[in-house]
Amino acid sequence: MVNMELLKKVVEAPGVSGYEFLGIRDVVIEALKDYVDEVYVDKLGNVVAHKKGNGPKVMIAAHMDKIGVMVNHIDKEGYLHLVPIGGVDPRTLVAQKVRFFTEKGERYGVVGHIPPHIQKPEDRKKAADWDTIVVDVGADGKEEAEEMGFRVGTVGEFAPAFVQLNENRIASPYLDDRICLYTLIEAARRIESHEADIYFVGSVQEEVGLRGARVASYAIEPEIGIAMDVTFAKQVADKGKIVPKLGGGPVMDVGPNINPKVRAFADEVAEKYGIELQVEASPRPTGTDANIMQINREGVATAVLSVPIRYMHSQVETADLRDVEKTIEFARHFLEELRPMDLTP
């Protein structure tokens, strides 16, 4: 059963790329510390939770960081001008709230929108970009904005907006990748007997170049590396290009970024426990932490386990709680069943 209180806490905790220490790191440590043998934070900020075993060494990672924004200019009227941290589409910021982390604590701002009554016809056809996005923090000038704690370099993120749409569906900013991070935490907490030597990693800076997973996988030196990250679910106007669907269960990729022996083992586990896996074709690197884990040192046997979501990198990312629960159970059984195997493709 999905723990909604913990899920919401994980989703809403602060932590844009490079600033995971603002909140999410402590949430992950607190959630895992009583269920593993040791927890530590490395020099880049990854949380590593080790559940000791005598079997194959496996690293299973979900990234803690969020996409976000950084202040790069405060104009004389007190408006903030922004640059993106990670893949933020500026169109998703229009008429939205932004949560900032200033020297004087959390502050909120709003991205204004010119009322349609006074827009020129040609302006209505233009999409917002970083040159037109400005944030109103309620200040009457630059000096007041600075007195409120804003500086060049202040970071921000989409304001919390977690909602439950019905019994099974939720929508919120930052289900990428906090919903998989929650899934990883719950799998770690539910594991009973296991042979594998398991390293659960809350990785940092995935959204700006898979940086945390590079450092963690080098230090851990796993035989098997599993990236837990969201993937696209069928949605309006996807033109049939997206195959996974909400409510269809966990998703696992096939392709060159995926070790075929690990993938075949995953199918065996899924069949044994009656969990249907959705399949996603990935003919190139997956864009997840598995990319960098695969080419660590002499090579790592990698796979990707995903929860499907709609409307990725927006304030209304949408997921199905049944997929979350099934993914937790699959990850748990996969790790419990893992034994030494020949990983050569």
Q: Is 206 a catalytic residue?
A: yes
Give how far the C-alpha of residue 139 lies from the chain's centroid of Cα atoms, to the nearest Å.
33
Q: Tell me the CA end-to-end span of the chain in Å, nearest whole number.
A: 36
Q: Is 229 helix (H, G, I), strand (E, B) or coil?
A: coil
Provide the sign of the torsion angle of the four alpha carbons 279, 51, 285, 20, taken in this order: positive
Catalytic member of 12, 206, 329, 336: 206
Q: DSSP letter at 284? A: S
Name, in order, each residue with C-beta under 8 angstroms of 119's C-beta and a sequence gap of 6 or more. none
Distance between CA atoms of residues 283 and 298, nearest Å: 22
Q: Determine which helix (DSSP H) or strand (DSSP E) holds 144, and give its type and residue range.
A: helix 142-147
Q: Is 289 helix (H, G, I), strand (E, B) or coil?
A: helix
345 by Cβ neighbours in 10 Å (0-12 / 13-18 / 19+) ranks as exposed
Tell me the DSSP string of 29-68. Answer: HHHHTTTSSEEEE-TT--EEEEE--SS-EEEEEEE--B-E
Q: Catalytic site residues? A: 206
